[in-house]
Amino acid sequence: MTLVLVGLGLLVLGAVAALAAARSPRLATLLGVGGTVAGCACALVPVVGVLLGQPAGALRLEWSVPFGAFVLGLDGLSALFLLPILTLSALAALYGGEYLGAFRGRAVPARAWPFFALLVAGMTLVVLARNGVLFLLAWEVMSLAAYFLVVLEDEDRAVREAGWTYLVATHLGTAFLLVMFVVLGSQAGSLDFARLGATGALATPLAGVVFVLAMIGFGTKAGFMPLHVWLPEAHPAAPSHVSAVMSGVMIKMGIYGLLRTLTFLGPPPAWWGFTLVAVGLTSGVLGVLFALAQHDLKRLLAYHSVENIGIIALGIGVGLLGVHFGSAPLAVLGFAGALLHVVNHALFKGLLFLGAGAVLHATGTREMDQLGGLLKRMPWTGTLFLVGAAAICGLPPLNGFASEFLVFLGAYRGVLHPASGVAGPALAVLAGLALIGGLAAACFAKVFGVVFLGEPRSAHVAPAHDPGLAMRLPMAALAAGCVLIGLAPALLVGRMGGALESLARLSRAALESPLALAVAPLAWITAGAVVLLALAGALALWRLQRLVRRPPGEEHTWDCGYELPTARMQYTASSFARPLTLLFGGLLRTRTTRVAPVGPFPRQAALATETPDVFGDALFRPAFRVAAGALARLRWLQHGRVQLYVLYILLTLVVLLVWKLR
């Protein structure tokens, strides 16, 4: 526990030092990166210790805040979330040191590092906090630090708007959390998590209210559809290493909050499970469909975060149904799948955002239809991106497959359950996961194929080259993580006992046999992966030996006899996804503007498609317009006269005094 505190201290120290050194961007970068990496490394030691079976740590300090107490705890659940937070943040910081170098001569790096270190510290504290006030405070530090990182390039109007959307969304979410903690606290008489959990059985309707508040409040952060609207705006606007941290771990704080809240509430009723399955299906399927329709690389990745949050929600839904219907294997498989996917998504989405950052860094554009043929110019970035792309599609032998396997297995087990309340949702989960998997594969075939393969589609590509070691190394480390967990997922799942105990509501002894049911097939997955790799390796050696004897010839691509193919004849991102976006056109509402070619020798022809967020356009924009109209009536209160503002303060004080004296 001490080391965690030291780590937190180093993070805050790094933030302050970087702020103090704002004059020299180089020094600020050095201090910011150094503080973040050192802090993360320090805090990682006890986290790994807890995962390896050391007793959970706890700490309590006096704190003179009403209802607040500085209570920290490090249990299995916290450790499982801290593992990706600290790892990815340290790697992203390392990467950011070089990445922000592109902004040399401007104040950007000096402004970035204090907030980056604070974001990491905020997330760490969110996961450690064991008191409502402390939790909300850490939550706010995290959210605000992320806001300042999103608007780092604030000379761009689109960036400012994205930041504004994010700020409004996160605070609306926090408002629901505030109400939730008030409801919980008023029942328990304290905001300490230990007390909240101990009272256990909340009255049924009240528990339902808390669940709904948590789903909205935490769901906004996590990006459950339709509360996800800020995600595709904010992620592309932020610098890539910040996008990686936000998408890889910050949105998971919503998942953490939801899981932690579930441990406060009594046994879950069935409709909680149904709700999560429904939310998961919506987020998963619509998330990947909207991703397919995008041609901005980072926006596409942001929609994929919505999809993966959907998969996590499906896992939690299966787990909750398992708890409700008293099936321990179902509960363990669902929650274990969700938790493993939390870690996995941090690894591959972090990797993909860092890779996208390297592409942006090298070419200056995020528009996929301008790219192509980058694998030859950026072999490192391309190869590592391919690992991430295959992992996010859930292909063996990588980590995405392992976590989706657990959720699949849970759902198949649910199909066997006699109660139709389990079998029905389980079938929906199966169909949904299969569709999501197929569409995700289509989407990443498009991304990798269009960005890295084929011929360059514009002059942006010509000067591209791999980034330096400081940017390559973090990507390589994340890719190695994807491969490692993919080959041996049982290593991590076997350590999840501490987290699963409280979620699945089982004692340590009762957990053993259902956990073994989850771990045993994972050992077979390892065996399958070894067979696969051995076969591929053997085939590669065989062909190598053949081709050494007969060196292969080189030609241009066979285009059915056409001798002068140009890069413009290639399929683009939009044309590749066109059959699918047409098929689901009713959901996507893609806007097409076209200038049709006229006459036998057409001079002009153009086609542009845009797929804006349906929920943002049809739901939130009108709602906010109405709200803004209503609130404009209160404008007279705010007129800019300081004297009258002082009068407001005075009046408030008098009212409070009278109320107290009464």
Partner 1 sequence: MSPLSALPPLCALLLAPLLPGIVTRTRCRLTGRQGPPLLQGYFDLGKLLAKGAVYSRTTTGVFRAGPLVGLAAVATAAAVVPFGAAPAPLAFPGDLVLLCGLLALMRFATVLAALDTGSAFEGMGASREVQFAALAEPALVLGLAVVVRGTGSLSLSGAFAALTPAVWTHEGAALVLVLGTLFVVYLTENARVPVDDPNTHLELTMIHEVMVLDHGGPDLGLIHYAAALKLWVLGALLIGIALPVQGLAPWAALVVSLAGMPALAVLVGVVETVMARLKLVRVPQLLVGATALAVLALVLVLRG
3-state DSSP call for residue 521?
helix
**Nearer Cβ to partner 1, position 431 or 469?**
431
- C-beta of 257: minimal distance to partner 1 in Å? 30
Amino acid letter, residue 158: A
State how far the Cα of 70 lies from the Cα of 626, in Å rounded to an integer: 41
Q: For residue 297, what are its two tokens? A: 């690389």
Instruction: Report DSSP letters for 367-399, one per residue.
Output: BGGG---HHHH-HHHHHHHHHHHHHHTT-TTSH
- C-beta of 565: minimal distance to partner 1 in Å? 7
- Of 501, 561, 496, 548, nearest to 522 (Cα)? 496
CA distances from 2 to 34, 47, 49, 90, 560 (A): 20, 11, 13, 19, 68
**Nearer Cβ to partner 1, position 102 or 523?**
523
- C-beta of 376: minimal distance to partner 1 in Å? 6
**Nearer Cβ to partner 1, position 197 or 424?**
424
- C-beta of 371: minimal distance to partner 1 in Å? 13
- C-beta of 270: minimal distance to partner 1 in Å? 17
**Nearer Cβ to partner 1, position 468 or 579?**
579
**Nearer Cβ to partner 1, position 110 or 428?**
428
Cβ neighbours, 10 Å, residue 118: 25
Instruction: Report DSSP letters for 466-515, one per residue.
Output: ---HHHHHHHHHHHHHHHHHHH-THHHHTT-HHHHHHHHT--HHHHHHHH
State how far the Cα of 658 lies from the Cα of 466, in Å rounded to an integer: 68
- C-beta of 571: minimal distance to partner 1 in Å? 3
**Nearer Cβ to partner 1, position 150 or 402?**
402
State how far the Cα of 118 lies from the Cα of 11, in Å rounded to an integer: 7
**Nearer Cβ to partner 1, position 219 or 284?**
284
- C-beta of 479: minimal distance to partner 1 in Å? 16
Q: Which residues are within 8 A (CB) of 44 and not within 5 positions of it... i.e. 6 or more apart?
A: 7, 82, 83, 86, 87, 90
Angle between helices 132-150 and 252-264 (to 10 degrees): 170
**Nearer Cβ to partner 1, position 571 or 648?**
571
**Nearer Cβ to partner 1, position 104 or 376?**
376
The dihedrals phi and psi of 141, each to the nearest 5 degrees, come to: -60, -45
CA distances from 54 to 57, 76, 415 (A): 9, 10, 37
Cβ neighbours, 10 Å, residue 185: 17
Instruction: Please report where in the chains the tokens 């009212």 appear, as a residue.
Output: 655
- C-beta of 572: minimal distance to partner 1 in Å? 8
**Nearer Cβ to partner 1, position 298 or 446?**
446
State how far the Cα of 423 lies from the Cα of 328, in Å rounded to an integer: 15
- C-beta of 618: minimal distance to partner 1 in Å? 26
- C-beta of 486: minimal distance to partner 1 in Å? 11
State how far the Cα of 114 lies from the Cα of 18, in Å rounded to an integer: 6
- C-beta of 398: minimal distance to partner 1 in Å? 9
3-state DSSP call for residue 304?
helix
- Confirm if 448 and 383 have CB atoms less than 8 A apart: no
**Nearer Cβ to partner 1, position 236 or 414?**
414
**Nearer Cβ to partner 1, position 105 or 552?**
552
- C-beta of 533: minimal distance to partner 1 in Å? 8
- C-beta of 442: minimal distance to partner 1 in Å? 4
The sign of the torsion formed by the CA atoms of 574, 576, 579, 580 equals: negative
- Confirm if 311 and 296 have CB atoms less than 8 A apart: no
- Of 394, 379, 385, nearest to 352 (Cα)? 385
**Nearer Cβ to partner 1, position 96 or 355?**
355
State how far the Cα of 646 lies from the Cα of 598, in Å rounded to an integer: 68
